[in-house]
Structure 1
Amino acid sequence: MGSASSMLTQYDIEEVQEHFTQQEIVSLYKRFCQLDRNAKGFISADEFLSRLLKMVDGLNFKDFVAFLSAFSSKASTPQKIEIIFKIYDSDGDGKVVFNDIIEVLRDMTGSFMSDEQREEVLNQLLNEAGYSRESPLLKNDFIKIFDYEGLRMEMEVPID
């Protein structure tokens, strides 16, 4: 994913509209521009959720939409799991270990939960799924855990 300048064009809209409607794309572009505080045409790690951007150098608009498209209702579960796996696999080694998950949970829960509570919840979740805290999880393990009927990993794009 790149750091090239980005202006919304009809070509950009056509290229990404398999994931969102034209109205949603325009709304996403407005949000993208708000996040691109320096108006450079890409979102730096400081401008966006730095945890999610550990996997990229910066996002132009098309990259931004491609990333978010994994959470659209049109995306398949494997596409969604691919992005979630990349979020947890912060070092890019192809596996997620206990501490990777704890780090994401810490980012998501903040002071709402203590480290002990996070570890207890994660240990219980892993045990119920047939894993232990020593088990490195590969992408296939994520598919096994997340690919079940009724799981909704979707977002709605607010239309301004």
Structure 2
Amino acid sequence: MGGHSSHHLSKIPDLEEIRRETGFTPSSIKRLHHRFQALDKEGKGYLRDAIDFPTFIRILAHFRPIEEDKSKEPCLDPEPINSRNNKLKFAFQLYDQDRDGKISRPELMEVLRMMVGVQVTNEQLESITDRTIQEADLDGDNAISFQEFKQSLEKMSIEQKMSIRFLK
């Protein structure tokens, strides 16, 4: 059985790099690779919008719970994908659809509309959007920069809200 596992893992491209970058264990990578293959019903090696396995697992790594660091020594490794800052960057990028470094009113409206669907009226959605920008926009440019986004979520437990417990 052990030979089958390592044989299966050897088929995963860039396994060691993925393990180091994402923090996933080899068994988790194997499980996620199996899930990826199940989602790739046509066997193309990628999902919709050309998401290959390394991209798939790097996206999921943002949602891996943050492990408490037992040692208090400074770490020389790059910031982990699942750090608070990287989770916030990932969330910010979902809103900043044109990648200009700001969340504009139309971008915020679009994402909120996708999230709530027909549950709210256009007027309610506009009110929520305007209030959100008003509260988060500190420099008065009618948009939300990453720094403003980060500051507006300062007291929120992003580490908990953007973690999926089975992703260890």
SS of residue paired to 1:96: strand
Work out which of the residue numbers 48, 52, 56 in structure 2 matches 1:60: 52
Matches within 5 A, 1:45-124: 45=49, 58-74=50-66, 75-124=82-131
Deviations 1:58-85 (A, max 9, x none): 2211111111111211311110111111
Are 1:44 and 2:53 counterparts? no
**1:44 shift after superposition:** 2.2
Number of aligned pairs? 141
Question: Which of the numbers 3, 18, 38 marks the counterpart of 1:16?
Answer: 18
Cα deviation digits, residues 47-67 of structure 1 (max 9, x gap): xxxxxxxxxxx2211111111
Return 137-146 or 28-37, whichever deviates more: 28-37
Runs of 4+ in 1 over 6 A off after TM superposition: none
Amino acid at match of 1:23: S
Inter-partner Cα distance in structure 1 for 2:139 and 2:125: 15
Question: Within 2, Cα distance between the matches of 1:122 and 1:70?
Answer: 26
**In structure 2, distance between residues paired with 1:101 and 1:145:** 15
Q: 1:31–1:14: structure 2 CA closer, same or farther, 3 Å change rule?
A: same
| Separation in structure 1 between the aligned mates of residue 153 and residue 26 of structure 2, nearest angstrom | 30
Quote how far apart the aligned CAs of 1:130 are.
5.4
Query: Does 2:137 correspond to 1:155?
Result: no
- The TM-score with structure 2 as length reference comes to 0.68
Give the Cα separation in 2 of the matches to 1:149 and 1:158. 21
> Equivalents in 1 of 2:134, 2:32: separation in Å?
39
| Structure 1 residue 105 displacement after superposition | 1.2
Alpha-carbon offset, residue 118 of structure 1: 2.0
Amino acid corresponding to residue 16 of structure 1 in structure 2: I
Using the TM superposition, name which of 13-22 and 87-96 deviates more.
13-22
Bigger-Rg structure (1/2): 2
Q: Any stretches of 5+ residues in structure 2 without a counterpart?
A: 1-7, 67-81
Distance in 2 (CA, whole Å) between partners of 1:34 and 1:82 is 29
CA contact (8 A) 2:18 2:54 kept: yes
* Unaligned runs of at least 5 residues, structure 1: 1-6, 46-57
For the residues of structure 1 that align with 2:60 and 2:9, how far apart are their CA atoms?
16
Amino acid at match of 2:106: N
Change over 3 Å in CA distance of 1:68–1:129 after alignment to 2: same
Report the CA distance between 1:94 and its aligned residue. Answer: 1.6
